[in-house]
Amino acid sequence: MRRIFRSAALAMLCGSLSACGALAATPSAVPIEQEPAHRLVLQNEYARVFEVWLPPGNSTLWHVHLHDGLSVRLADATIEDQPKDGPAEAFSLRRGQVSYGATPIARAHRVRNVGESAFHIVYVELLSPPGISAGHTAVPDPRVVLENDRVRALRRILAPGESTDMHTHGSRAVGVPVAAGRLEISDPEGATRTVEVKVGAAQWIEPGTTHRLKNVGDAAIEIVDIEIK
């Protein structure tokens, strides 16, 4: 009788043995920095920057987002995004797209790559409250591709041989290369250096940074600057 009672109690608790297995198979969500597909590449008091790489057919772990963030897509991909509290939804992503995600409450989800190419993005997590660049007034710019009260994202494309003017960054920003190449960087004193720009190799830009950029490679370079407000 005691054995029968225990079996009945277990069935009432779980509904069925298969339901018990389903519950056991749903792990708890990990912090984003512990999710293996998210590689932390930059961190300071204002932001954390992750490079995310997920091969076709793979899934991330369940993980939690606690802050607002912005992503820059580095390749075309098709993914399935599944929140813990809802059904999965499929998305077709395009290289160069920029999107913003507000997180008023913690959001747990996982991503599955259901396409034929790698899911590759840079994700910028905003750690500071709005207003860190309150003393700076941004001028209108046709290169703006996304703007809200937290960020402004600008796309810069330089053809081979093309240069920018000497310019000063008025806000803290993250520069995200979308297309690789060779870039010559000049400062106001005339010093120059040449760097190999790699896709996804995010760089932190301090306010007051002044320079001129020139594409000295053979292909167009594309960079998205994410200014933090």
**Residue % of the chain over a pLDDT of 70:** 85
Q: What pLDDT does residue 137 have?
A: 59
Superfamily of domain 30-126: Jelly Rolls (2.60.120.10)
Superfamily of domain 147-228: Jelly Rolls (2.60.120.10)
Q: Which of 200, 202, 204 shows the shortest CA–CA distance to 173?
A: 204
Q: What pLDDT does residue 168 have?
A: 95
Average pLDDT, the chain: 88
Q: What pLDDT does residue 181 have?
A: 97
Locate tokens 């020139």: which residue? Answer: 214
Q: Compute, in degrees rounded to 10, the torsion defined by CA atoms 93, 226, 130, 65.
A: 40
Q: What pLDDT does residue 141 have?
A: 87
Q: What pLDDT does residue 94 have?
A: 97
Token code pair at residue 199:
């896709």
Fold match, 30-126 / 147-228: yes
pLDDT for 148 beyond 80 = yes
The type of residue at 142 is P
Q: What is the pLDDT of residues 24-57, one digit of tens each?
A: 355 799 999 999 999 999 999 999 999 999 999 9
What is the residue extent of each domain of the chain? 30-126, 147-228
- Integer-rounded Cα Rg, in Å, for the chain is 22
Q: What pLDDT does residue 215 have?
A: 98
**Residue 144 neighbours by CB under 8 Å, 6+ apart:** 152, 153, 154
Q: What pLDDT does residue 5 have?
A: 38
With residues binned 3-state (H G I as helix, E B as strand, rest as coil), the percentages for the chain, rounded to 5, are 10, 45, 45
How many whole angstroms separate alpha carbon 135 and alpha carbon 138?
Answer: 10
Phi and psi at 10, nearest 5°, equal: -65, -40
pLDDT for 64 beyond 60 = yes
